[in-house]
């Protein structure tokens, strides 16, 4: 049977031929994916199975590869944000802001405090939605559908806030060089306040449903555990690493956008298993809520929402029609003819899944000479075969969703 | 910050002499070049030296410089991070344009495995000793290396789009 699925030169075919069990049973091949209903995204894994146990796995990725790095080499800087949206589409604002901050580092632009705080708020909202999706889907994969349905409406609420800020919902393309494209409306703050009132209640209830749930604990404790050393060797960052007990967080190690002004904890786990990853994400949601509240409290007076950088920041539309200067700036920015220094920049931000890095090389022209995205999902997904070795097939599904591998970020 | 750039530089020059050069503080990252032939020894030293402790490979990627002299047309860039001192460094190794090859670091950092496959996939850099050097994001049947500068992004035969009207030429876009 297995010979039909694999070419004879495949290493699994060889293993199956050489190894037969004493009771006469034989090893088998299971093709999980690319489009399997239990994997959220397009992942293919060829599994070598002994009955229900996984002996080895061979992942194939790249099914939604869109050559973002190549496209970015042919686009002016402001047109690259939509590409970053589509990497980790569960938390696109973090990617957007990371990209703007990379450019601001390149151009030495100081962003006003108020705009930085607004960015912090929107990035933490994005982190909440990211963790919310991951944890509730993990619930679904263990058979608990109601938690998912219960908290998912709050993702909708966050998307309404995004909509109020930038007009888009999923792929937000939010912000500009130096800040935001417009000030946040009173409605946005109103929605935010409602969210801050309603969401903690639901999240507490969600936690109660899972954290001490016998079935959930049985399905997740000691499933897909990874040691801290292994996790670091595999380049883990973000909640998956913190679940293994390493308190590395870019927001603290290299604060950006005024994260140093806020007081928050970095939750860590112990064993790095699926349950710890779940708990770390849960705890991070609480920290994110606290950061948002602090940012709202400390928000500087006034209505500054962008830096004063006419070379890079689009002028108001009325001025473009009536004012020569503005028209010139508008034209130059839209055509991508902005002055850019020759430099190499690496800027990391803490994304939903770990350190998202933007390695940008400019040669003074209208487009990047080279832009490389450090995508946490791509980096830690290579540990997946090792993590599922010896596990059951149903555990493999749970481990995949607890790692929160987002296909868009995996394949770029 | 306890770990100073000069300390790193001194230590490296002391051990590897001419194989490490062109040290500079580039914006917020200390960066330098290494001789590609000696990359594994240098990176292993950076990782294991009790003072340097660059134990985390943040990123590895390739760059194509078609306008450089033939022996400097490709570069492999390593971003290393020391979490104890919170210090990042960037290492560049330039490679020959016709036959880009460099030793793998996937036995030093497990995470380099896929990063090197990605670099091979896009630039055709041959990582000597890599356990499974094959394409990762592109399809296996592909013959070219798409991130090289000469690889066109769009179909060259397209006639519905004339970029000259927007001030773009082949050189500036």
Between CA A353 and CA A188 the distance in angstroms is 26
Mean pLDDT computed over every residue of chain A? 91
- Give the pLDDT score at B166: 59
A160, part of any domain = yes
Measured over all CA atoms, what is the biggest interatomic distance in chain A, rounded to whole angstroms? 86
The enclosing domain of A303 has a CATH number of: 1.10.645.10
Between CA A272 and CA A226 the distance in angstroms is 5
A8 and A89 belong to one structural domain: no
Q: Which of B28, B32, B110 is best to mutate for the A interface (most A CBs within 10 A)? A: B110
The pLDDT tens digits of the residues spanning B72-98 come to 999 999 999 999 999 999 999 999 999
A34 and A121 belong to one structural domain: no
- CB-CB under 8 Å, B173 with A233: no
pLDDT-above-70 percentage for chain A? 98
Chain A: give the shortest CA distance to residue B126, in Å: 19
At residue A243 the predicted structure's pLDDT band, cuts being 50, 70 and 90, is: very high
Q: Is the pTM of this model over 0.90?
A: yes
Count interface pairs A-B at CB distance under 8 A: 90
- Give the pLDDT score at A7: 73
- CB-CB under 8 Å, B111 with A344: no
A65, A367, A383 member nearest B138 (Cβ): A65
Mean pLDDT computed over every residue of chain B? 88
The pLDDT tens digits of the residues spanning A337-373 come to 888 999 999 999 999 999 999 999 999 888 899 999 9
Chain A: give the shortest CA distance to residue B66, in Å: 12
A150, part of any domain = yes
B34, part of any domain = yes
Between CA A409 and CA A374 the distance in angstroms is 9
A56 and A141 belong to one structural domain: no
A317, part of any domain = no
Q: What is the DSSP letter of A65?
A: -
Total domain count, chain B: 1
Tell me how far the alpha carbon of residue A315 is from its chain's centroid: 31
ipTM of the complex: 0.90
User: How far lies A190's CA from each of A102, A113, A170, in Å?
Assistant: 30, 21, 20
Q: Which of B137, B147, B168 is best to mutate for the A interface (most A CBs within 10 A)? A: B137
A24, part of any domain = yes
* Sign, Cα dihedral of A206, A211, A217, A219: positive
- Give the pLDDT score at A1: 46
- Give the pLDDT score at B133: 92
At residue B151 the predicted structure's pLDDT band, cuts being 50, 70 and 90, is: confident
- CB-CB under 8 Å, B114 with A378: yes
A404, part of any domain = no
B168, part of any domain = no
Q: A337 — contact with chain B (CB < 8 Å)?
A: yes
Which residue blocks in A142-213 are alpha helix, DSSP H?
145-166, 186-211
Q: Which of A7, A77, A359 is best to mutate for the B interface (most B CBs within 10 A)? A: A359
A385, part of any domain = no
* Sign, Cα dihedral of A53, A58, A63, A66: positive
- CB-CB under 8 Å, B173 with A253: no
Q: A254 — contact with chain B (CB < 8 Å)?
A: yes
**Full residue range of the structural domain in which residue B60 is found:** 5-103
> E strands along B65-152, which residues?
74-82, 87-95, 101-103, 126-128
- Give the pLDDT score at A274: 94
Total domain count, chain A: 2
User: How far lies B164's CA from each of A72, A78, A188, A272, in Å?
Assistant: 20, 21, 43, 55
Q: Per residue, what are the HEC states of A98-126?
A: HHHHHHHHHHCCCCCHHHHHHHHHHHHHH
A330, part of any domain = no
The pLDDT tens digits of the residues spanning A286-336 come to 999 999 999 999 999 988 999 999 999 999 999 999 999 999 999 999 888
- CB-CB under 8 Å, B58 with A70: no
The pLDDT tens digits of the residues spanning A247-295 come to 999 999 999 999 999 999 999 999 999 999 999 999 999 999 999 999 9
A344, part of any domain = yes
Between CA A37 and CA B69 the distance in angstroms is 51
A18 and A108 belong to one structural domain: no
The enclosing domain of B39 has a CATH number of: 3.30.460.80
**Full residue range of the structural domain in which residue A44 is found:** 2-60
B59, part of any domain = yes
Within 8 A of B63 by CB-CB distance, chain A residues are 361, 370
B43, part of any domain = yes
- Give the pLDDT score at A198: 95
């Amino acid at each position: 049977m297995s010979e039909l699925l694999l070419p004879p030169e495949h290493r699994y075919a060889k293993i199956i031929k050489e190894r037969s069990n004493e009771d006469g049973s034989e090893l088998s091949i299971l093709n999980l994916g690319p489009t399997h209903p239990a994997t959220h995204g397009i992942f293919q894994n060829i599994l070598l199975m002994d009955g229900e146990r996984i002996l080895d796995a061979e992942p194939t990725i790249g099914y939604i590869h869109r050559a973002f790095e190549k496209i970015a080499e042919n686009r002016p800087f402001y047109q690259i944000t939509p590409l970053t949206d589509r990497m980790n589409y569960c938390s696109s604002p973090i990617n957007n802001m990371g990209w703007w901050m990379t450019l601001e580092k390149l151009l030495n632009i100081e962003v006003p405090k108020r705009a930085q705080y607004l960015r912090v708020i929107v990035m933490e909202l994005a982190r909440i939605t990211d963790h919310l999706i991951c944890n509730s889907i993990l619930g679904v994969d263990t058979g608990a559908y109601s938690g998912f349905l219960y908290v998912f409406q709050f993702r909708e609420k966050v998307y309404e806030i995004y909509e109020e800020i930038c007009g888009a919902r999923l792929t937000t393309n939010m912000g500009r060089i130096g800040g935001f494209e417009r000030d946040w409306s009173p409605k946005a703050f109103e929605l935010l306040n409602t969210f801050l009132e309603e969401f903690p209640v639901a999240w507490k209830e969600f936690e109660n449903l899972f954290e001490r749930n016998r079935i959930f604990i049985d399905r997740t404790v000691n499933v897909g555990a990874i040691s801290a050393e292994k996790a670091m060797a595999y380049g883990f960052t973000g909640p998956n690493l913190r679940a293994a007990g390493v308190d590395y967080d870019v927001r603290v190690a290299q604060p950006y956008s005024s994260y140093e002004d806020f007081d928050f904890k970095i939750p860590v786990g112990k064993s790095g298993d699926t349950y710890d990853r779940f708990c770390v994400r849960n705890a991070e949601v609480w920290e994110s809520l606290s950061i948002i509240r602090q940012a709202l409290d400390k928000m500087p007076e006034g209505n500054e929402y962008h830096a004063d950088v006419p070379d890079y920041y689009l002028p108001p539309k009325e001025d473009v029609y009536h004012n020569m200067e503005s028209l010139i700036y508008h034209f130059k920015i839209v055509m991508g003819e902005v002055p850019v220094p020759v430099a190499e920049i690496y800027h990391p931000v803490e994304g939903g899944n770990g350190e998202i890095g933007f390695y940008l090389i400019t040669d003074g022209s209208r487009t990047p000479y080279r832009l490389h995205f450090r995508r946490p999902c791509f980096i830690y997904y290579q540990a997946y075969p090792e993590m599922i070795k010896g596990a059951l097939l149903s555990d493999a599904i749970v481990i995949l969703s607890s790692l929160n591998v987002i296909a868009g970020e995996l394949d770029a | 910050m306890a770990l100073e750039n000069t300390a790193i530089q001194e230590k490296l020059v002391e051990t590897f002499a001419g194989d490490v050069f062109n040290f500079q503080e580039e914006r917020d990252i200390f960066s330098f070049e290494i001789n590609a032939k000696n990359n594994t020894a240098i990176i292993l030293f950076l990782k294991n030296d009790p003072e340097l402790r660059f134990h985390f490979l943040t990123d590895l990627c390739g760059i194509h410089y078609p306008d450089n002299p033939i022996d400097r047309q490709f570069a492999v860039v390593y971003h290393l991070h020391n979490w104890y001192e919170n210090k990042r460094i960037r290492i560049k190794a330039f490679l020959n344009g016709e036959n880009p090859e460099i030793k793998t670091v996937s036995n030093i950092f497990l995470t380099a495995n896929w990063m090197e496959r990605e670099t091979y996939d896009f630039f055709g850099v041959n990582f000597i000793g890599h356990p499974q050097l094959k394409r990762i994001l592109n399809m296996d049947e592909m013959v070219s290396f798409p991130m090289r500068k000469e690889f066109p992004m769009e179909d060259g035969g397209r006639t519905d789009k004339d970029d000259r009207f927007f001030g773009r030429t082949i050189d500036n876009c």
